[in-house]
Amino acid sequence: MTGPSPRVLYITGWMRSGSTLLGNVLNEIHGVRHVGEQYYLWRNGVLGAGTNSSCGCGLPVAGCPLWAAVLAALPEGATEAVAHRMTTLQQALLRTRHTPARLAEARGERPTAPGVTELLDHSAAVYRQVAAHGGDRLIVDGSKYPAEAAALLGRTDVDVRVLHIVRDPRATALSYRGAKDYIDPMSPARSSGYWTTFNLASELVGRTAGTRYLRIRHEDLARSPREVTTRVLRFAGLDDDSPVDASGRIRLGANHTVTGNPDRLRRGVTEIRPDERWRTALTGTDIAAATAAAAPLLARYGYPLVFTRPSRAADSVRTSRPTGRPVSRTSGPPARGEAS
Ligand SMILES: [Zn+2]
């Protein structure tokens, strides 16, 4: 390896938390490359599995000039055999229940499992190539696997910072109830069960990461996008101005994201603002189910256990889309259902 270690802002937490939009906002800064969910580079990008094999630029990942150059430059190549090996190792070593083991390795309390070293050697090689192709100042990886964040903390050849994004689980429940066709719908109780598991695992990562960990709330990002993105930039070691203007607007250009919310295909001026539809769109039963399964962590994140139903409301980053309708894709990560 030559040159400085690639700097990676690794986003963790549960799905539907706004990581795609935040990544695309940061992607507007020179030298920052949002890669989407790099975890799925092997499965969706190289193997072309599922229907979410397109890059954020609209081309198939394998046909995207950026990813073609990155993959071609990998020391061991990006053959189907390598991709199958990587996906097998991911399943065996990076599930949420593996987070404590990966953290113990990162802290040096036990030898790193050979498979972990092999897998992370490939991830680091990809990061180095992305850094050489436009991501020399920062790579934003929205993969959201706590065990992968944990394993990255143990690497000396990757300068990783872990960003944990939390969102009100009732808003997540609404997002899953009306899931777009790239993810499977999920009941409020199930969504909140995963929410709790992934957030607890992310908090564990934070204990080991120390100053390399920052937690933000989706709702704060929606209400104060310029301030919160500035905070994230400083955490990532960048002194740039936020690309979001004082009114919460940003002009989004092209990106090269592997997998993620269909919103990643959005271009043009976008306004970031709160979206609190869950408060009126969910039934009382749905809210009760989503609340009960997440109750142990709600107060910790400043979310109320009970609330008065307003005339209008809910929680999420809602963006206007003056330029075209995002194309729906299938990310289909049923592995997200593995939780424990
Ligand atoms: Zn692309």
Dist. CA 57–CA 42, nearest whole Å: 18
Domain membership of residue 147 (yes or no) is yes
More confident residue, 44 or 322: 44
Q: How much is the pLDDT for 185? A: 82
Residue 1 lies in a domain: no
Q: Which amino acid is at 282?
A: L
Q: Is residue 184 part of a domain?
A: yes
In a domain, 2, yes or no: no
Backbone angles phi, psi at 217, to 5 degrees: -105, 140
**Collapsing DSSP states into helix, strand and coil, what is residue 276?**
coil
Residue whose structure tokens are 């564990």: 204
pLDDT tens-digit profile of 248-275?
999 999 999 998 777 777 889 999 999 8
Amino acid occupying residue 307: F
How many domains is the chain partitioned into structurally?
1
Longest dimension (CA), the chain: 58
Mean per-residue pLDDT for 90-98? 97
Check whether 316 has a pLDDT greater than 50: no
Among 179-193, 236-250, 287-301, whose mean pLDDT is lowest?
179-193
Is 84 within a domain?
yes
How many angstroms is it from 250 CA to the middle of ligand 1? 21
Structural domain span for residue 125: 7-338
Question: How far, in Å, from the CA of 73 to the mean position of ligand 1?
Answer: 16
What phi, psi does 31 have (nearest 5°)? 85, 0
What's the gap in Å between 297 CA and the centre of ligand 1? 37
Q: Scanning the structure block, which residue is given the tokens 């071609």?
A: 72
- Give 58 Cα–ligand 1 centroid separation in angstroms: 7
